[in-house]
Amino acid sequence: MRKPKPSKKSLYFVNHLYKQQRPPIFLKFQSFFAMQNFDWKKKLGSLCTDGAPAMLGNKLGFAALVKKKAPNVTVTHCFLHQHALADIFGHMNEVNLSIQGPEVYIMDVAERLQALLDKLGLWKRRLEGGNYVNFSMLEEVLLHDGVERNKPLSASLQIEMCEHLDTLQNSFTGYFSSRDLKVEIWIRNHFSTDVNSIDDSDLAKDDIIDLRTKEMLHCEFNSKSLGESWCSLTQVYPRLAKRAMKALIPFATTYLCESGFSGLVNIKT
C-alpha cells in the first residue's frame, strides 16, 4: 500500500503594493494568476488571511473581492492571529470589568488605565524579544505545535501584534488629563495621610489634623464607602467634604446610566 505524499507548502510570489491602486492586494492577486493561466475562480479552494481590515472589509476587503469572483472559496482566519487577538481582548476585558460598578471613582479608572498604558509598552518590548508570557493562549498554541519557547514568531505576526499594542496605547492616551485628575491623597484616606505633605497655607490642613483625632469617625470611615464617608462629614467638615466630593462625583463610565436603563426596562416589562 502506497503511503500518501506529505503536503507541501510553497511560496509562489512576492510583489510590491502601491497605495494608488484600489484595491491593490486583489489586483496583484488577480494579475499573478492571469499571468500563470490559472483559473483561480474555479480552482481556488480556500483562503487564509491575518484578519487585517484590508483583508476582511465587507465590500473592498480582499476576502470579499475574492468571494465575488469565486463564491465557493472558504475563507479562514490565521489561527495564531486569532489567539494573539484573543489574548489582547482578554486583557482589555479584565480592565473593563475592573472599572464597572457603583463604587468606582474617576481616579480609580485613571489609575487602572495608566497601569494598562505602562503594561502595553512592557508587553510590546517582551514580544519584540520573543517573550510571550503575557499572551498565554498564543504561547500554548505555539508550544502545542512544537514551536520552541525561545523561537520567535513570524515577522509579520510579531509586527502586527506590536502595531496593535501601539494603537491601543495611542487610543488610551489622553482619555484623562493628568492635570485635571490631581486628586489630593487625603481624600482617599485622611487618617493615614502624612499631614506634613499638605501645604501650611492650606486651611484644609487644620481640618484634617482635627479629623484624625476622632477615633469614632475613624471606625465609621472603615465601615463605609468613600462617597458615603465624605457625605456624612458635610455638616462637620464642610470645607473638606466639598473638596472631596468634587473629586468623587464625576462619572468615570456610563455604568450607572446603563444599569439604570436596564432596571427601567425590567420594570416596564
pLDDT value of residue 20? 46
Q: Give the tens place of pLDDT for each residue, 121-164.
A: 999 999 888 888 888 777 676 665 555 445 556 777 788 888 88
Summary mean pLDDT of the chain: 76
CA distance 156 to 68: 27
The mean per-residue pLDDT over the stretch 34-53 comes to 78
pLDDT value of residue 1? 47
Give the residue among 226, 215, 158, 233 at the shortest CA–CA distance from 188: 226
Q: Give the tens place of pLDDT for each residue, 73-118.
A: 877 766 566 667 778 878 888 888 887 777 777 778 778 888 888 8
CA distance 102 to 184: 21
Give the residue among 175, 171, 177, 238 at the shortest CA–CA distance from 204: 238
Q: Give the tens place of pLDDT for each residue, 239-265.
A: 999 888 887 876 666 666 666 666 666
